[in-house]
């Protein structure tokens, strides 16, 4: 079995009234990204997209361009985060627009990011104001959510396994009545021509839901899943640093900040640990890979910095993970992420590496078509558009 790569995709690159209210008019994920500053020499901040491509996802052509670029690089589909609160939707327009209006054939599925929205960014760790509370309701609410999802499930591009649409849940253990909710969804899915729903529980920094026989599979969300379960000295050093982040002087860029920032994990260490974990993972667990991690532009000094990532290390790690997954007959590996810019987990081209990460991915998947030329053509089109 040839393992395919699915990339997680963040839709928060357009304005919505709620974010205008909570974070200031005109807020998008780019607002976070542009806040990035280097804490010490060699700290890679701010992150800047190649050609200053601060795109707006209200333009369907942007998402369509991403699907074409991802496909050429060897990615087999996107996993779009979606945000649903008892019928209230946030950041849904780009995904719905792709479903309803795009003729691109690129596959996709949905991840229900089912957390409450809290004010946890920008030094807000002592005042986690709830902006929008997540609640799960009862049977009628579960039915309404299913029928919202059904329009996606029926899309011929929607990813299915054994005639079950794939639906991923970020923190399923937060759903108290999840057994009953999932039973309703599976019943409705069968009534609408499917064998059920292929439910995937994410193993994140919030841990794993250990309820048995409830999910079709689990997904290791890296690097947070690995860091959560890490028992090396790094975990305790990170916890100690977490208690001393006030010593970080954000306005400075000096060696003292290197001592105090939460930078104890390296990319090489985490990749080795992820590969070791993948060797012993069960048949129902999909592995995850990540490009890098640095969420200080979101969380300031409370963020975690993973140092030492580069395209060559990513290539070697991805090759190893694909071999392991194919050996264990795993259908997918999940990439974090296509465009998590303010977490430093993106594979889109930036000013430091250009298209190097995408080329590494293409090489790792064994795709041949066009080699690097397809990236150069894309660059030429963008250059002409700006002249």
Give residue-wise pLDDT tens across range 105-125.
Answer: 999 999 999 999 987 765 444
Q: What is the CATH number of the domain that holds 188?
A: 3.20.20
pLDDT of residue 122: 54
pLDDT of residue 250: 87
The percent of residues above 70 in pLDDT, for the chain, comes to 93
pLDDT of residue 60: 98
Residue 368 binned pLDDT confidence (cut-offs 50, 70, 90): very low
Interatomic CA distance for residues 186 and 18, integer angstroms: 32
Which residue did the predictor score with more confidence, 43 or 380? Answer: 43
pLDDT in tens, 256-268: 999 999 999 999 9
Which residue did the predictor score with more confidence, 123 or 217? Answer: 217
For 143, counting Cβ atoms within 10 Å of its Cβ (0-12 exposed, 13-18 middle, 19+ buried), the class is middle
Is residue 218 over pLDDT 80?
yes
Interatomic CA distance for residues 276 and 260, integer angstroms: 29
Is residue 377 over pLDDT 70?
no
Is residue 185 over pLDDT 90?
yes
Interatomic CA distance for residues 4 and 278, integer angstroms: 16
Total domains present in the chain:
1
Interatomic CA distance for residues 15 and 340, integer angstroms: 16
pLDDT of residue 128: 67
What lies within 8 Å, CB to CB, of 170 at 6+ separation is 111, 112, 113, 114, 115, 202, 204, 221
Is residue 67 over pLDDT 50?
yes
pLDDT of residue 371: 40
pLDDT of residue 379: 45
349 token code pair: 């081209």
Which residue did the predictor score with more confidence, 283 or 318? Answer: 318
pLDDT of residue 361: 98
Residue 147, phi then psi, degrees to nearest 5: -70, -25
156 token code pair: 């011929």
Domain of 229, in residue numbers: 4-385
pLDDT in tens, 300-340: 999 999 999 999 999 999 999 999 999 999 999 999 999 99
């Amino acid at each position: 079995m040839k393992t395919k790569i699915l990339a997680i995709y963040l839709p928060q690159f357009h304005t919505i009234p709620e974010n205008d209210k909570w974070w200031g008019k005109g807020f998008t994920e780019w607002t976070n990204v542009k806040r990035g500053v280097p804490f010490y020499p060699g700290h890679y901040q701010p992150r800047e997209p190649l050609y200053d491509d601060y795109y707006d996802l209200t333009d369907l052509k942007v998402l369509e361009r991403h699907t074409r670029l991802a496909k050429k690089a060897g990615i087999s589909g996107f996993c779009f985060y979606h945000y649903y609160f008892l019928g209230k939707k946030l950041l849904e327009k780009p995904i719905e627009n792709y479903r309803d209006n795009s003729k691109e054939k690129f596959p996709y599925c949905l991840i229900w990011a089912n957390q409450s929205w809290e004010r946890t960014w920008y030094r807000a760790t002592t005042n986690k104001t709830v902006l929008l509370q997540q609640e799960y309701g009862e049977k009628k609410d579960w039915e309404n959510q299913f029928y919202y999802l059904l329009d996606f499930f029926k899309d011929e591009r929607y990813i299915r396994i054994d005639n079950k649409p794939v639906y991923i849940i970020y923190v399923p253990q937060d759903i108290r009545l999840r057994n009953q909710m999932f039973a309703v969804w599976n019943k409705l899915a069968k009534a609408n021509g499917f064998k059920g729903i292929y439910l995937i529980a994410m193993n994140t920094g919030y841990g794993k839901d250990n309820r048995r026989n409830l999910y079709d599979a689990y997904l290791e969300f890296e690097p947070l899943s690995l860091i959560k379960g890490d028992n090396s000295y790094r975990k305790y050093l990170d916890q100690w640093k977490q208690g001393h982040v006030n010593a970080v002087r954000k306005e400075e860029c000096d060696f003292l900040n290197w001592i105090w920032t939460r930078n104890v994990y390296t990319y090489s260490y985490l990749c080795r640990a992820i590969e070791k974990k993948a060797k012993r993972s069960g048949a129902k667990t999909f592995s995850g890979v990540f490009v890098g991690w640095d969420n200080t532009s979101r969380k300031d000094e409370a963020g975690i910095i993973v140092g030492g990532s580069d395209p060559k290390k990513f290539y070697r790690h991805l090759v190893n993970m694909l071999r392991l997954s194919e050996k264990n007959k795993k259908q997918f590996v999940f990439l974090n992420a296509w465009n998590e810019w303010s977490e430093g987990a993106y594979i889109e081209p930036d000013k430091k590496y250009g298209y190097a990460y995408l080329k590494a991915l293409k090489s790792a998947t064994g795709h041949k078509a066009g080699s690097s030329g397809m990236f150069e053509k894309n660059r030429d089109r963008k250059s002409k558009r700006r002249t």
